Amino acid sequence: MSEESDSLRTSPSAASLSESELPPPPAPAGYVCSLTEDLVAKAREELQEKPEWRLRDVQALRDMVRKECPNLSTSLEDAFLLRFLRARKFDYDRALQLLINYHSCRRSWPEVFHNLRPSALKEALASGFLTVLPHTDPRGCHILCLRPDRWIPSNYPITENIRAIYLTLEKLIQSEETQVNGIVILADYKGVSLSKASHFGPFIAKKVIGILQDGFPIRIKAVHVVNEPRIFKGIFAIIKPFLKEKIANRFFLHGSDLNSLHSNLPRNILPKEYGGTAGELDITAWNAALLASEEDFVREFCQPGPPCDSILGQALPPEGLSSEAPCDDSMWAVKSQLYSCY
């Protein structure tokens, strides 16, 4: 490769050259794979990722972006594009569409994506609505723990929770291990009331699911729901029409049966709140990790950009992400659907 040949070349001493003849500074280092041998093998088997063709595949996607979406304001770095290739098993066309959707959904929901930074979400983070458990599951998946009962609607709108989830996903997907292994969601619905559930209506459900399924380069391997009340039947009735069959089949409802949960997530990786032996649930470490990434998020989400039309051209957001899509999301309509579960 060129990097190897460059390292073998000899060059005159800088001291022997005039200032105008000094060589240019070295180019930024290219992509360096951080995957273990086991994860390289897993990526080959599950994602059709071939290390010997990896950079060729990245260049192919980069060329497609430049040719088909010349006005798309996006990073073209190897590591960034690899996220989309891995999420779509190195299918170039599907990876390109995911990249377009990724940017489209961010511009179609300004309430969520404007000024998206950890310091703007301190209240949501401090509430304990979400965290990432310190231990991965046996497959190496990070576990995103959601606790809707910790959210008090009078304190801040539900979109703040969605912003916190998105920041968390962005932080997680920076890791190549997560790109290969995916994540698991553990949702604890203990204490979720009808009035609280009614905030998550069809309009928001459709947008959130549209992002997770078609607008973000992450693999959701399982969703474990615990302590769900009877009202959850109504919540799931709102969600299910927007779920693809593959994702719907990855939902597991455990109720209060922690033994059922432990058959999927072993006790040694769970906090004692869920019958585990890994100590008490602690939100401080993950909150600190997000807040320490403030500058990265400011660069990514808080810079002025060109208008949406000039960026995306004829590209349309994935189904459900259009901010103008009509949807009956009145409180009455949502509550009537939730009441039907009783």
Do residues 179 and 249 share a domain?
yes
pLDDT surpasses 60 at 187:
yes
Structure tokens at 306: 């060109």
- The residues that bridge with 185 in the sheet, in sequence order, are 144, 223
214 lies in some domain = yes
pLDDT surpasses 70 at 319:
no
Query: Is the Cβ–Cβ distance between 92 and 64 less than 8 Å?
Result: yes
Enclosing domain of residue 61: 37-108
Do residues 62 and 125 share a domain?
no
Query: Is the Cβ–Cβ distance between 226 and 258 less than 8 Å?
Result: yes
Q: Determine the longest span between alpha carbons in the chain, in angstroms.
A: 85
What are phi and psi for residue 220, nearest 5 degrees?
-95, 110
Residues 6+ apart with CB under 8 A from 323: 108, 109, 110
Domain-ending residue, one of 89, 108, 127: 108
pLDDT surpasses 50 at 294:
yes
30 lies in some domain = no
Taking all residues of the chain, what is their mean pLDDT, rounded to a whole number?
84
Place of tokens 């063709």: 53
Give the span between the Cα atoms of 140 and 175, in whole angstroms: 12
Reported as a single tens digit per residue, the pLDDT across 8-41 is 333 333 333 343 444 443 434 579 999 999 999 9
What are phi and psi for residue 219, nearest 5 degrees?
-105, 115
Give the span between the Cα atoms of 187 and 224, in whole angstroms: 6
Do residues 166 and 225 share a domain?
yes
157 lies in some domain = yes
Do residues 81 and 127 share a domain?
no
Do residues 97 and 139 share a domain?
no
Residue-level pLDDT at 58: 98
Residue-level pLDDT at 318: 53
- The residues that bridge with 187 in the sheet, in sequence order, are 146, 225
pLDDT surpasses 90 at 231:
no
324 lies in some domain = no
240 lies in some domain = yes
Domain-ending residue, one of 81, 108, 135: 108
Give the span between the Cα atoms of 83 and 86, in whole angstroms: 5
Residue-level pLDDT at 305: 54
DSSP assigned state of 296: H
Reported as a single tens digit per residue, the pLDDT across 58-90 is 999 999 999 999 999 999 999 999 999 999 999
Do residues 120 and 74 share a domain?
no
Residue-level pLDDT at 304: 60
323 lies in some domain = no
Domain-ending residue, one of 48, 80, 108: 108
- Between the two ends of the chain, the Cα-to-Cα distance in Å is 65
DSSP codes of every residue in 210-233: HHHHHSS---EEEEEEES--TTHH
Do residues 62 and 205 share a domain?
no
Give the span between the Cα atoms of 216 and 230, in whole angstroms: 31
Q: How confident is the model at residue 247 (pLDDT cuts 50, 70, 90)?
A: very high
Do residues 119 and 51 share a domain?
no
32 lies in some domain = no
Looking up residue 103, the CATH number of its domain turns out to be: 1.10.8.20
189 lies in some domain = yes
More confident residue, 300 or 254: 254
Do residues 97 and 155 share a domain?
no
Looking up residue 270, the CATH number of its domain turns out to be: 3.40.525.10
Domain count across the chain: 2
- Global pTM? 0.82
pLDDT surpasses 80 at 4:
no
Q: What is the three-class DSSP state of 254?
A: strand
Do residues 87 and 170 share a domain?
no
Do residues 125 and 246 share a domain?
yes
- Angle among Cα 219, 225, 231 to the nearest 5 degrees reads 130
Do residues 141 and 226 share a domain?
yes
Residue-level pLDDT at 284: 97
